[in-house]
């Protein structure tokens, strides 16, 4: 890797001294017409069907997926539309190797794992989006969900070696359109969404778009429900032929019951009804409000160089009450609950500056990225337990406990994180068939946590250098071979049971695989093998599951497959499969070596196929089915408790009354499989949904 990084360091000198290569007699290899010229599909634009061909998540440049030496899964919004779902987690079922983890009682997309390693990081339009406890991303404003497999710290900064999720939001378009979608489902679940787009001037330089959504949902879980109001206005202004300004905002008002699920007495599932709520209905809802404002300015300096300046600000608050499972008595039915008040607020500001450019050096074509980023994140979090504690019978729950008003104890912490980073990247076309990518990021991280209860202060400062390098060789027009290596770095947020900060996580990943374009480019597939290691992995504290503990070192290895595209004009499909062997390799007595990592199935797979009628009175209508399989998983760190394997089958159908009006129905969990989708311990186990029906209406106004 030394020659590549030496070349990267030399690039600024070539910029200052262009004559060093201007007279080279060798014709430079091109990155490809698909990179340099315009394409019908843009990296931040809509996807036709299920098969995306371009992405910016892996490089921060609009690049063909077939030219990136790394596995990337793209799930377009059409997948969620066909499934009648508004859940990001449902879309991630089709990414391959993504597992559901702690979702903070249903309040947020808190944690998930990619290729065996759990992370709380996800991104939105290239900005970190999971600081604090933001409400779950809303599908009304999602254009596509992209999963970059393997470490991406050299591009995004602190993160995990398993992978990075970047949500691409909907942008203003040149056309005028308006779409109304409304749906209703089992257990009194209702949602309406409106997407309106229009040019604001005759030239089409000023474009506006507004996405709105309103939800009122109950659940198969007793006494559990949620309400949401979502608004996302955006503006695109072509100030000049060379300059584009984008302004985007989001407002979310979310109310939901914190629901930790059911318990598994003696680590056995099935005795407690999957609808049983073990909290207290009198506690009410927890509010989760979020506001976001984002701006970007893109300017073409000349035909080869472009400048991007962007800023992102978000703030949020979470407040409410909940009675949560604490311990199960020896009789196997009396559950002790603790009542906790939460009052948390946070804000996060991020600024980015990037310079993109194309140039030729020594007969090779280079696409350069030089970027700088600054982030300032602050959070105030107070969690208070109010005594006395209460008990409830898990088999015959009786509700009506008044809110306690006795002794109070808990945590009250102020956290501040500041980071500055510089990253460099070079995409290289060595020849028409051979491409490379190298990147490095230098980051300074400063974290301070003040314990407002006892006055203790925890500080940690870290300087990190992360890097990656990859090669892709186009064996034939339809087959590409790729390999890469990359590192990751992430400071561990929060404190352990003794108010001590965790050492940062550090990881390294290796990947090799195939990229296939089949059936005259109708179908794309990526098959990749990987080996990942990470130190200081956080998992549930075996002593107290409300805290976390470092697992020492963990290793994950295996392979995953992702396919998407059109088998014919009528049949589209998307699917994935993953085999993951993830375990602790350096543990302790509480979490010994050989323990499986929490919530990670060795085998998982999914497949969605939809047949759309091309002729006759059913033209534009469709039918389809989805299959999802998840193998058995560890249900509690350092324990023999596990969640059994399960599979679900969903059916869907849409009837087009006209090109503008379509009605649909989705029958989920057709076989009424009784399954458990996630757990944090044997006291917090979330059952999956029973068989349910949803109907929907889409009207293009």
pLDDT, tens digit (0-9, with 9 covering 90-100), for 353-379: 999 999 998 889 999 999 999 999 999
DSSP, collapsed to helix, strand or coil, labels residue 673 as coil
- Following CA atoms 640, 641, 647, 650 in sequence, which dihedral angle do they give, to the nearest 10 degrees? -160
In this predicted model, what pLDDT tens digit does every residue of 418-442 receive, in sequence order? 999 999 999 999 999 999 999 999 9
Separation of alpha carbons 1 and 437, rounded Å: 11
Output the pLDDT for position 494: 64
- For residues 132 and 128, what is the distance between their CA atoms, to the nearest angstrom? 11
Query: Is the torsion defined by CA of 22, 23, 27, 28 positive or negative?
Result: negative
Report whether pLDDT(463) > 80.
yes
**By the 8 A CB rule, do 687 and 661 touch?**
no
**What is the average pLDDT score of the chain?**
91
pLDDT exceeds cutoff 80 at 38? no
pLDDT of residue 16: 33
- Kindly report the CATH number assigned to the domain that includes residue 575: 2.40.170.20
CA diameter of the chain: 85
Residue 550 confidence (pLDDT): 66
Beta bridge partners of 394: none
The predicted pLDDT at position 536 comes to 78
62-81 tens-digit pLDDT:
999 999 999 999 999 999 99
Residue 85 phi, psi dihedral angles, 5° rounding: -115, 155
Structure tokens, 307: 């400048």
Spatial neighbors of 46 by CB under 8 A, at least 6 apart, are 76, 77, 143, 173
Would the pLDDT of 496 be above 80?
Answer: no
pLDDT at 33 over 70: no
- Give the pLDDT score at 545: 62
For the stretch 320-334, pLDDT in tens is: 999 999 999 999 999
* pLDDT > 80? residue 88: yes
Q: What is the pLDDT of residue 654?
A: 98
At CA 210, angle to CA 204 and CA 215, rounded to 5? 165
Say how far apart CA 151 and CA 147 lie, in whole Å: 11
Q: The tokens of 425 are what?
A: 């990247």
- What is the phi/psi pair of residue 371, to 5°? -135, 155
Task: Give the chain's length.
Answer: 701
**DSSP notation for 207-221:** EEEEEEEEEEEE-SS
CA-to-CA distance for 298 and 171, rounded, in angstroms? 15
- Average pLDDT score over residue span 272-297: 96
Q: What is the mean pLDDT of residues 252-257?
A: 97
pLDDT in the model for residue 32: 42
Q: What is the mean pLDDT of residues 262-291?
A: 96
> Is the model more confident about 3 or about 525?
525
Query: pLDDT digits over 118-170, tens only?
Result: 888 889 999 999 889 999 999 999 999 999 999 988 899 888 899 999 999 99
Report the distance separating Cα 337 and Cα 445, nearest Å: 38
Q: Domain range holding 91? A: 2-700
* Cβ-contact 566, 523 below 8 angstroms: yes
Q: What's the pLDDT at 414?
A: 96
Query: How many folded domains does the chain comprise?
Result: 1
CA atoms within 13 A on the CB side of 15: 17
Task: Please tell me the predicted confidence (pLDDT) of residue 542.
Answer: 65
Q: What is the pLDDT of residue 125?
A: 95
User: What is the per-residue pLDDT for 362?
Assistant: 84
- Which tokens in the block code for residue 188? 């009194």
Across the range 559-568, mean pLDDT stands at: 96
Quick: pLDDT tens for 370-419.
999 999 999 999 999 999 999 999 999 999 989 999 999 999 999 999 99
Confidence of residue 497 (pLDDT cuts 50, 70, 90): confident
> Is 59's pLDDT higher than 70?
yes
Rounded to whole angstroms, how far apart are CA atoms 635 and 655? 41
Confidence class for position 293, pLDDT limits 50, 70, 90: very high
Quote the CA–CA distance of 305 and 454 in Å, as a whole number.
54
User: Could you report the per-residue pLDDT of 599-656, keeping only the tens digit for each?
Assistant: 999 999 999 999 999 999 999 999 999 999 999 999 998 889 999 999 999 999 999 9
What pLDDT does 537 receive? 67
Residue 24 has pLDDT above 70, yes or no: no
CB 419 within 8 A of CB 375: yes
pLDDT-based confidence at residue 11 (cuts at 50, 70, 90): very low
| pLDDT for residue 383 | 96
Whether residue 365 contacts residue 429, with contact meaning beta carbons closer than 8 Å, is answered with yes
**Which pLDDT score, from 0 to 100, does residue 592 have?**
85
Counting Cα atoms < 13 Å in the Cβ hemisphere of 553 gives 8
Chain segment 474-495, per-residue pLDDT in tens? 999 999 999 999 999 887 766 6
Quote the CA–CA distance of 411 and 454 in Å, as a whole number.
9
User: Distance between CA 523 and CA 536 in Å, rounded?
Assistant: 40
Q: What percent of the chain has pLDDT over 90?
A: 80
């Amino acid at each position: 890797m030394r020659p590549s990084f030496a070349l990267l360091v030399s690039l600024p000198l070539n910029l200052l001294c262009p004559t060093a290569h201007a007279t080279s007699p060798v014709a430079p290899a091109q990155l490809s017409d698909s990179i340099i010229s315009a394409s019908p599909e843009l990296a931040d634009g809509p996807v036709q069907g299920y098969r995306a061909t371009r992405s910016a998540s892996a490089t921060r440049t609009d690049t063909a997926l077939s030219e990136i030496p790394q596995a990337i899964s793209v799930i377009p919004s059409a997948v969620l539309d066909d499934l009648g779902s508004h859940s990001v987690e449902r879309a991630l079922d089709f990414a391959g190797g993504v597992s559901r983890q702690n979702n903070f009682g249903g309040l947020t997309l808190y944690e998930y794992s990619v290729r065996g390693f759990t992370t709380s990081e996800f991104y939105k339009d290239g900005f970190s989006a999971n600081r604090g406890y933001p409400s779950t991303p809303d599908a009304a404003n999602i254009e596509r969900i992209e999963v970059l497999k393997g470490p991406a710290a050299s591009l995004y900064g602190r993160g995990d070696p398993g992978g990075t999720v970047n949500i691409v939001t909907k942008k203003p378009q040149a056309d005028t359109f308006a779409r109304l979608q409304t749906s209703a489902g089992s257990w009194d679940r209702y949602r309406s969404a409106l997407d309106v787009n229009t040019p604001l001037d005759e030239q089409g330089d000023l474009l506006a778009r507004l996405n709105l959504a309103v939800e009122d949902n109950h659940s198969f879980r007793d006494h559990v429900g949620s309400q949401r109001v979502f608004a996302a206005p955006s503006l695109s202004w072509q100030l000049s032929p060379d300059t584009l300004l984008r302004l985007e905002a989001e407002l979310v008002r979310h109310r939901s019951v914190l629901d930790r699920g059911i318990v598994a007495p003696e680590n056995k599932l099935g005795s407690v009804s999957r609808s049983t709520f073990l909290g207290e209905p009198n506690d009410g809802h927890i509010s989760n409000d979020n506001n976001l404002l984002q701006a970007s300015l893109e300017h073409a300096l000349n035909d080869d160089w472009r400048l991007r300046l962007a800023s992102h600000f978000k703030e949020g608050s979470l407040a409410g009450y909940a009675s949560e499972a604490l311990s199960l008595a020896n009789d196997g039915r009396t559950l002790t609950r603790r009542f906790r008040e939460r009052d948390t607020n946070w804000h996060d500001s991020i600024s980015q500056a990037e310079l993109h450019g194309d140039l030729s050096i020594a007969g090779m074509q280079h696409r350069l990225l030089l970027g700088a980023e600054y982030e300032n994140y602050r959070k105030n979090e107070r969690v208070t337990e109010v005594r006395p504690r209460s008990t409830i019978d898990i088999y015959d729950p009786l509700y009506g406990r008044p809110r306690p008003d006795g002794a109070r104890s808990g945590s009250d912490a102020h956290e501040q994180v500041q980071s500055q980073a510089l990253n460099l990247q070079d995409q290289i076309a060595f020849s028409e068939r051979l491409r490379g990518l190298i990147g490095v990021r230098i980051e300074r991280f400063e974290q301070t946590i003040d314990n407002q209860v006892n006055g203790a202060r925890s500080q940690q400062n870290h300087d990190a250098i992360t890097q990656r390098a990859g090669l892709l060789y186009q064996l034939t027009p339809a087959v590409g071979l790729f390999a890469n290596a990359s590192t990751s770095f992430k400071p561990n947020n929060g404190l352990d049971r003794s108010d001590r900060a965790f050492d940062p996580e550090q990881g390294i990943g290796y990947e090799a695989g195939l990229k296939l374009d089949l059936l005259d480019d109708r179908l794309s597939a990526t098959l990749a093998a990987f080996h990942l290691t990470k130190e200081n992995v956080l998992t549930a504290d075996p002593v107290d599951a409300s805290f976390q503990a470092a697992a020492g070192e963990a290793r994950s290895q295996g392979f995953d497959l992702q396919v998407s595209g059109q088998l014919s004009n009528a049949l589209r499909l998307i699917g994935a499969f993953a085999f993951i062997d993830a375990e602790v390799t350096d543990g302790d007595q509480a979490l010994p070596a050989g323990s499986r990592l929490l919530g990670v199935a060795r085998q998982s797979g999914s497949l969605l196929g939809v047949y759309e009628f091309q002729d006759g009175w059913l033209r534009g209508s469709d039918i389809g089915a989805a299959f999802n399989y998840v193998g058995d998983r560890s249900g509690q760190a350092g324990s023999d408790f596990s969640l059994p394997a399960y599979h679900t089958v969903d059916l869907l159908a849409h009837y087009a009354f006209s090109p503008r009006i379509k009605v649909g129905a989705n029958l989920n969990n057709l076989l009424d499989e009784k399954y458990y989708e996630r757990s944090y311990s044997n006291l917090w186990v979330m059952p999956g949904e029973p068989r349910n029906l949803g109907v929907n209406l889409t009207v293009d106004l």
